[in-house]
Structure 1
Amino acid sequence: MALIIKYIVACLVRYWLIHTDYWQTIANRVEIATPLNSWKRLIEGVHLYDNGINPYEGDSFHESPIMLILFHFLLKKVPYLLPVIFVVLDALTAHILYKASKVFIQIFKESQERGKADVVEESKNMLLNESQLNEVPYYVLSVYLFNPYSVLNCVGMTTTVVQNLLLAVSLWAASSGQRVMACVFIALATHQALYPILLVVPISILVANVNQGCNKCSYIRTLLGFVLCWGFCIFISAYIMDGSYDYFYNTYGFILSVPDLKPNIGLFWYFFTEMFEHFRLLFVCAFQINALALYVVPLTLRFHKEPVLLATVLIALSTIFRSYPCIGDVGFYLALLPLWKHLFSFMQQKFIVACTFIITSALGPTVWHLWIYSGSANANFFFGVTLSFATAQIFLITDMLFAHIKRDFTLKNGSSRQINGKPAKLVLR
């Protein structure tokens, strides 16, 4: 009953906000809508397509052709149901994350049982008991349903709602050992936003672990399945556009080359606004390598035994460093953090990160108003807020990773620090 009440309240809040006078303001906020996910641009693209004009010939529409056809159908057949559809999709995302987290908890239990022999006696009280593990899915559900970032993302009717659903289904499918479903949904998410391609690695590991097939063949099958599904998405998109692949430039090309420098909560827009044009290609490549490739190999080598943690971290890093991030992306990975509730006691920067999140979330709209409407500030003010927001997210992720390492070390070596029977002293040189 408590779960049903949560769903009802969360859906009513979203539905009510969509029908208030503030909806247009929310939907146009730079923190919520980007050139990739904006509802306004989506409607424009559908309108152009409906009138026989290729929406990819201009510079306003950047969604995939599959999304174009989907929303063309919805806007033609059931336009009055669109607010309900977005609310239901967001609630469904929360429910699938809830189901996925229950499977993740079972994986944690099995992993803890296997590693019990390596835990020293004095650290056995740190092992998670049944009640601590069973309450985690409820926290995941609550954080997604009532997180202001997720709520505003749904209210703004951005296509990030669909992307979050695709990511949630792919994580749940992988944790359940359903390779084909995981490949299909991660391919759809990649086709829409490109950056979810990073999740192929943890999903491959997770599927192999669940199916007890930790070998190269299992990983290759998952990778091959993803490539085939993604290729099929590309083929279907070309078929929709009458056999033309010109949409590539306004979808993947737009994401990678970052031509639209409208401010957002990311790091790209200000840097490329201030940079000399002849350096642009170099730094675009450097930024995109940082977002798409730099962290995958080292993090996989270190955390390959924890694919759920690896997936959480890669989702967070791709959110921070992608070219057009929004708060809907942030809200999704924040909902996964309760899975690591047992690490919070080892984290040292929780208070600083929480305060920074709250302050920057309040200051962002304030300095935007001062810059754009009052004229009493400039771009540096808004970029300072977005830079602080990104820094807080980086602190959160690094702190969580270090907390995992510290907890793992303490379980195996105990909390006492002695050398030759005497208390050890840590000295930095």
Structure 2
Amino acid sequence: MAWGVWCIYVLGAGVRLWLMNSSGADFIAKRVEFSTPLNSWKRVEEGVFLYSQGIPVYSGGVFHETPLCLLISSFLVKSWRAYLPLLFVACDLLTAALLAAVAASYSRKQLVEQKKNIDKYSVDALPLLLTSESLWSGVAYVSAVYLFCPYTVASCVAQTTTVFDNLVLATVLVSMVKGYSILFGGLVAVATYQSFYPVCLLVPGIISLVQEKNSISALVKPLLSFAVSLALLMMVSAEIAGSWEFLEATYGFILAAPDLTPNIGLFWYFFTEMFEHFRLFFLATFQINAFVYVLPLSIRLRRDPVLLATALLAFTAVFRSYPSLGNVGFYLALVPMWKHLHPFMRQTFIVGCMFVSTSVLGPIMYNLWIFSGSANANFYFAVTLAFNTAQIFLVTDLLFAYVKWEYQLTHGSKIEVDGSPGRLTLQ
């Protein structure tokens, strides 16, 4: 088993390095599905150049990374330029290892929880019970899916900063399942500082910590750590940038979405067609979609905070203003942790076909629109809309499968209503 795991990581690194040194690396780096105004390494290099020349970095509309990212990137570009591909690959390998650690800790907790509640389960729930073999195979699948998912591979080859965002998110999940309250709060602050949307992970993290430690400190420590860490990051950033101008160029840019360059998200097309006097209303409506599901999902999935965190990551990948396929690949790698729910899922074939077809048709429609002039924006947006619909189908199918599995554990597989066979439906 150990040799098999090592082979997965070596092969994953080899695929990335081979593609980075191939003729298609530049083509992938320019694809709008992977590089956005927020994560493009070309824009980072432009910001580093402006910074080295003493030109205000945030006065234009090119650079939208945080000041700390600017400082670190400046050091990397000047001193480690030749080793940058190795750095991106190493970060991806570390992310895969951290996700495997999340899956391992989660599997152990699942088995302990099952043993504790075994008396509450139905007599015919034996086939539904978790086994260590199935859970540990899911751990191997998590790292394998992350390392070989085309979305994460191409995101690494394009050298997008999403690679670093995914690494921070993986450390957030590890600290959550391990029960490190202060570290968790600080890491969520770092993730929020980088891309704003991960602030919603505070909720599943606090739920997990409170359940594990059952004390008020499990609530106070992560919140206090988050607030203090975020405040320190902001003050350091203001010192690096020389003013608070970076707020408008980073978080203001994320919230206002002024750059309507096509991507896999929903914002660009709608706001291209939007009348200006309606823009603020619909902007607020679109942005709130990334957070409106936090409360209802937290109530329903309070017994499984890791599944809650995965669902929230999926929704933010759909509803963020500048999404990329690297965001999608991250939460897709977590899905094998619920391999035991796959028999309850009913839309896997449809979702799989939608993912494959839209991933192929997206670049085709974009080239027909931009380069050939034989199509228009509607063609490309239709593909991205279908792709986001597939993501919603996947998440809802997974959540409904969890509800059915949980129900049948307690009540059995035979559902009867007034003596007649019943059917469990999602309202």
**TM bucket normalised to smaller:** over 0.9
| Inter-CA distance 35–124: structure 2 relative to 1 (3 Å threshold) | same
Match of 1:19 in 2: 21
How far apart in 2 are the matches of 1:419 and 1:260? 54
Per-residue deviation at 1:114?
2.0
Please give the alpha-carbon distance, in whole angstroms, between the structure 2 residues aligned to 1:425 and 1:296: 30
Counterpart pick for 1:62 among 64, 67, 75? 64
1:272 corresponds to: 271
Distance in 1 (alpha carbons) for counterparts of 2:248 and 2:220 = 29
Q: Is the 8 A contact 2:201 2:312 kept in 1?
A: yes
Q: Among the aligned pairs, what percent are the same residue?
A: 46
* Cα gap change, 1:81 to 1:419, in 2 (>3 Å): closer
Scaled by the length of structure 1, what TM-score is found? Answer: 0.96
Of 139, 142, 146 in structure 2, the residue corresponding to residue 140 of structure 1 is 142
**Alignment match, 1:409:** 407
- State the one-letter code of the partner of 2:47: G
Which residue in 1 is equivalent to 2:344? Answer: 346
Question: Given that residues 210 and 218 in structure 2 are in contact (C-alpha distance below 8 angstroms), is that contact kept between their aligned partners in structure 1?
Answer: yes
Aligned to 2:252: 253
Residue 8, structure 1, aligned to residue 10, structure 2: yes
Measure the CA separation in 2 of the matches of 1:60 and 1:419. 61
The within-5 A match list for 1:7-156 is 7-156=9-158
* Secondary structure, counterpart of 1:61 in structure 2: coil
Alignment partner, residue 225 of structure 2: 225
> Which digits, 9 at most, give the CA deviation of each residue in 1:83-117, with x for residues without a partner?
10001011110011111111111111112112211
1:333 aligns with 2:344: no
Worse-matched range after superposition: 223-232 or 324-333? 223-232
Render the CA deviation track for 1:207-234: whole Å, top value 9, x for unaligned: 2333x22x44421321121111111111
After TM superposition, give the deviation of residue 419 of structure 1 in Å.
Answer: 5.0
* Alpha-carbon separation, structure 1, partners of 2:323 and 2:349: 24
Aligned pair count reads 423
Question: Which residue of 2 is the match for residue 159 of structure 1?
Answer: 161
Q: Give 1:330's aligned amino acid.
A: V
Aligned residue type for 1:232: L
Q: Partner of 1:299 in structure 2?
A: 297
Instruction: Measure the CA separation in 2 of the matches of 1:419 and 1:250.
Output: 57
CA distance in 2, matches of 1:205, 1:357: 32
Partner of 2:322: 324
In 2, Cα distance between equivalents of 1:319 and 1:88: 23
What TM-score results when the alignment is normalised by the length of structure 2? 0.97
Counterpart position of 1:378: 376
Unmatched runs of 5 consecutive residues or more in structure 1: none
Match of 1:238 in 2: 238
Among residues 306, 309, 314, which one is paired with 1:308 in the alignment?
306
Cα distance in 2 for partners of 1:321, 1:427 equals 29
Q: Hey, what does 1:388 align to over in structure 2?
A: 386
* Whole-angstrom CA distance in 1 between matches of 2:413 and 2:33: 43
Q: Deviations over 1:403-424 (max 9, x none)?
A: 111111111111113356x542
